Amino acid sequence: MTHPILITGGTGFIGSHTVVALAEAGQPVVILDNLCNSSAKVLDRLARLNASPIEFVQADIRDSAALDTLFARYQFAGVIHFAGLKAVGESVAQPLRYLENNVSGTLNLLQAMDRANVRRIVFSSSATVYGDPVSVPIPETAALTATNPYGRTKLMCEDALRELHAADPRWRIAILRYFNPVGAHESGLLGEAPNGIPNNLMPYITQVALGQRAHLQIFGNDYDTPDGTGVRDYLHVSDLAAGHLAALRALNEPKLLTVNLGTGRGVSVQDMVDTFARVNGVPIPHQVVPRRPGDVAQCLADPRQAKALLNWETLLDLDRMCADAWRWQSMNPQGFDTPL
């Protein structure tokens, strides 16, 4: 593929790591992002990693005119579509904003792609579409449901992509259901920089390690899991990034792929705290508090389809996820505002 790939949401956490993975594979990219949840300073970090995009466009996926201009300027080989809002709690408070941004935005992007005859897309879905799974590990054929407006937007976008493929089989579509991406680029130059109080476990732990927060609250130790704390399938963001390159390559002909991206291995909150402390030599003060509403006991991928269809599997272990997350946080106490 010598034509560029458009990466929406490319200055975000997963998008920026994917830009690096594509650059390393010699694949040119253009980034489109409205910077509502990321910093333009990511671009300086990408430059340091020799992964500068051909172009960075600050625009919104809901802006049809901006998309048409971009699709006229470049003949894209395809689109990796990360752009979206992702905070579950916020989506409960602001469902219309989430539906508008994530669903209308995605439909708008698909229409612009169709007009420009670019019919190859890799879409960021989430394990959240499995709701509270009946059993783990979860195969792609498991029942789908939404337990919050954010999850609903992912399900609605997946449905739109399935309808689109049924109506026009020229489309090449990969729906990637991520489990829990954590870690950071091994250089310490890229990582996750949430605004305000982190919702997710790993960024909370790294802020506690840094002393920015006093202690971690473990949300429940009375789950039906080996140590009572919640079990998840954490994968390194660089492995996840590589999964996008694998998906692009697998879309070498019209098809619709739906694939879990995870390790298949369960890690409890307590395991994560203990591993982080051991690997990095930094204690993580913590206390157990009641369960967080909406949380499930366990969520684990059956990763076999990814191996079979994409020839992709994770390579980096939990120790590496903890080491890289801490390198990123300790090198960048102010996130991307930390001077280079």
Question: Would you please indicate which residues are annotated as catalytic (active-site) residues?
Answer: 150
- Do strands 231-232 and 267-268 pair parallel, antiparallel, or not at all (unpaired)? antiparallel
> What is the sign, positive or negative, of the torsion defined by CA atoms of 136, 142, 146, 151?
positive
CA distance to 114, 156, 173, 176, 225, per residue, from 248 (Å): 18, 22, 9, 11, 36
71 binds ligand NAD (CB under 6 A): no
Q: Which does 84 bind (CB under 5 to 8 A by kind): ligand NAD, ligand WQD, none?
A: ligand NAD
H or E stretch covering 6: strand 5-8
- Contact flag: residue 325 with ligand WQD (CB under 6 A): no
Angle at CA 208, nearest 5°, toward 321 and 16? 45
Is residue 27 within 8 Å of 1, Cβ to Cβ?
yes
- Binding residue for ligand WQD (CB under 6 A) from 145, 188, 219, 302? 219
Helix (H, G, I), strand (E, B) or coil at 267: strand
Q: Does 213 bind ligand WQD (CB under 6 A)?
A: no
> How far is the C-alpha of 241 from the C-alpha of 222, rounded, in Å?
34
Say what the alpha-carbon torsion angle 209, 211, 215, 216 is, to the nearest 10 degrees: -40
* Contact characters 286-305, ligand WQD, x per CB under 6 A: ------x--x---x------
Applying CB under 6 A, what is the total number of residues that bind ligand WQD? 19
Which of 27, 126, 280, 332 touches ligand NAD by CB under 6 A?
A: 126
Out of ligand WQD, ligand NAD, none, which partner does residue 94 contact, by CB within 5 to 8 A per kind?
none
Cβ atoms of 284 and 325 closer than 8 Å: no
Q: Does 61 bind ligand NAD (CB under 6 A)?
A: yes
Which is closer to ligand WQD, CB of 27 or CB of 148? 148
Q: Which of 60, 140, 158, 233 binds ligand NAD (CB under 6 A)?
A: 60
The 178-197 contact track toward ligand WQD, x by CB under 6 A, reads --x-----------------
Helix or strand (DSSP H, E) at 126: strand 120-126
Binding to ligand NAD (CB under 6 A): which residues in 193-232? none
- Interface with ligand WQD in residues 260-279 (CB under 6 A): 269
- 208 residue type, one letter: V
Candidates 30-38, 214-222, 290-298, 304-312; binding stretch for ligand NAD (CB under 6 A): 30-38
Taking CB under 6 A as the binding criterion, the range among 10-18, 160-168, 201-209, 321-329 that sits at the site for ligand NAD is: 10-18
Name the residue type at position 325.
Answer: A
- Cα distance between residue 116 and residue 251, in whole Å: 18
Verify binding: residue 128, ligand WQD, rule CB under 6 A: yes
| Residue closer to ligand NAD, measured from CB, 55 or 228 | 55
Q: Which residues contact 290 (CB under 8 A, 6 or more apart)?
A: 219, 220
DSSP letter for 130, please: G
Q: Binding of ligand WQD at residue 217 (CB under 6 A)?
A: yes
200 belongs to the binding site for ligand WQD (CB under 6 A): yes
From the list 254, 257, 275, 258, the residue with the least C-alpha distance to 266 is: 275
Q: How is residue 128 annotated by DSSP?
A: G
Q: Where do contacts with ligand WQD occur on this chain (CB under 6 A)?
A: 86, 88, 126, 128, 180, 199-201, 204, 216-219, 230, 232, 269, 292, 295, 299
Q: Where do contacts with ligand NAD occur on this chain (CB under 6 A)?
A: 8-9, 11-15, 33-38, 60-62, 82-86, 101, 105, 124, 126, 178, 180-181
